[in-house]
Amino acid sequence: MKKFAKIFALILVGWLVLHLLVLLIVGLNDNAQKADAILIFGNKVEESGVPSERLQSRLDQGVELFNQGMASTIVVSGGLGKEGFKEAEVMKEYLVKTGIPATSIIVDNTGNNTHETAKNLAKIAQNTKIESVIIVSQYYHVLRAQLSLNKAGFNTTYSSYARMSPEFRDLYSIPREIIGYYAYLFKSPPPPGPPPPPSSRTRSGIHPSPCRYSPTCQLGFTHQFCHNTGRHHILIRQFS
């Protein structure tokens, strides 16, 4: 029994060391390429209302990527911190002060954790055509962030870690990220959000519509086929 426990412990230690190496290699590998959006994950806002050093390092990296033309859109995502500030709003304010146009910034105020940020971005992407993303966060967070975005349906993700000197906090954050990775690995993927609102005719003739199986819908189209998707219906226009 002791021999088995020793073997198990060696395997576990080896696995953790391997995961740590992968975390460092992925996190410190800046592979940013042109993408549809730069996604900056939130972090602590100081009681004075300014970004913490950690959050500022993420924002500064996002600004650099934007100015390099890596993407034309920045998504800032965060929740309501215990200090009483909405992280994403503070992030947007900081970015605007650096010269980023407010029209280029999308704010997600309900990104309370990595999972929620990925889920919210998937909903945002339905209306903004965001398919590829550059992740901006601390190096130790990149691997879990990639996993969350992949599970949310983003197959093209790049990363650019925040430039910041190592902190004593890293000794806590890295083990936390390893545990968090496996918690996210077995977490169910985010449910799909509602489709985009009705728009003009598409090439395929398929239109989202809040129809109620009536002879004609609010858009004035004649029903050839109406499929109930649960929340919405897909209306196919009958062409004459």
Q: Provide the pLDDT for residue 170.
A: 87
CA 6 to each of CA 11, 15, 18, 178: distance values in angstroms, whole numbers, following the listed order: 9, 14, 18, 22
Residue 140 reports pLDDT greater than 80: yes
Residue whose tokens read 């906090």? 169
pLDDT > 90 in the chain, percent: 62
Q: What is the phi/psi pair of residue 151, to 5°?
A: -70, -25
Which amino acid is present at 43?
Answer: N
Which pLDDT tens digit goes with each residue over 68-127?
Answer: 999 999 999 999 988 899 999 999 999 999 999 999 999 999 999 999 999 999 999 988
Strand partners, 39: 75, 135
125 within 8 A of 131, measured Cβ to Cβ = yes
User: Which among 125, 122, 66 is positioned nearest to 98, based on CA atoms?
Assistant: 66
Sequence spans of domains, the chain: 8-185, 194-240
pTM for this entry = 0.75
Residue 33 pLDDT level (bands cut at 50, 70, 90): very high
Residue 190 pLDDT level (bands cut at 50, 70, 90): low
Residue 202 pLDDT level (bands cut at 50, 70, 90): very low
CA distance from start to end of the chain: 78
CA distance 145 to 214: 44
Q: Where are the beta strands (DSSP E) in the chain?
A: 37-41, 74-77, 105-108, 132-136, 156-159, 206-209, 223-228, 233-237
Q: Provide the pLDDT for residue 123.
A: 93
Residue 12 reports pLDDT greater than 90: no
Max mean pLDDT range (6-20, 133-147, 224-238): 133-147
Residue 149 reports pLDDT greater than 70: yes
Q: Provide the pLDDT for residue 53.
A: 94
CATH homologous superfamily of 8-185 equals HUPs (3.40.50.620)
